[in-house]
Structure 1
Amino acid sequence: MTHDQILQNLNEVFCDIFDDEDIVLTRDTTAEDIEEWDSLNQIKIILACEKKFNVRLNARDINSLENVGAMVDLLAGLNPSAS
């Protein structure tokens, strides 16, 4: 899975969690860009990503991410088929 595919899949996760089909993530998107992205939704994002990408995420690692691009890079690193 490429970084672009991971970003596209993440976008689907975010649209589902926030019930907003108009969300368009970029590598620079942060929690400040999405009004309802709070700590509860952060947990939902983590759980949905674990399911969608079949990985285990460390909450400490997730909380240190600066933006969606860093999340894409983390998921790519956990997914050996990513390039």
Structure 2
Amino acid sequence: MDKKLQGLLADVFGVRESEIAPETVKEDVESWDSLKQMDLVMSLERAYDLTLDIQDIVAMTSVAAIAQVLRDKGVRLED
């Protein structure tokens, strides 16, 4: 799991990094609501210097999906 992404997600959702794994889905994280989704979008855009469109935002329903969206935008993540 990419440490930068793991740390960013833990910060956004207010959980421990150990609670963030590729198989983590939106339903697993109590704080992952629509407001946190927008916080996530802004945090990802700042951290990785990119712009996410609505299709990207809608697709981000799991940690694995977030990582895939970032890879599709050209971000290199460590496994």
TM over 0.5: yes
Runs of 5+ unmatched residues, structure 2: none
Q: Is the 8 A contact 2:6 2:17 kept in 1?
A: no
CA separation of 1:72/1:22 partners in 2, compared to 1, >3 Å: closer, same or farther? closer
What is the aligned residue count? 77
Distance 1:19 1:25 in 2: 11
The match for 2:52 is 57
Structure 1 stretches of 4+ with a deviation exceeding 3 A read none
The match for 1:13 is 8
Say which of 20, 23, 32 aligns to 1:28: 23
Distance 2:13 2:60 in 1: 19
CA separation of 1:41/1:79 partners in 2, compared to 1, >3 Å: closer, same or farther? same
Identity of aligned residues (%): 25
Say which of 56, 62, 79 aligns to 1:67: 62
TM-score (norm 2): 0.78
How far did residue 29 of structure 1 move? Answer: 0.9
TM-score (norm 1): 0.75
Larger relative contact order, structure 1 or 2 (CA cutoff 8 Å, min sep 6): 1
Runs of 5+ unmatched residues, structure 1: none
Distance 1:73 1:33 in 2: 19
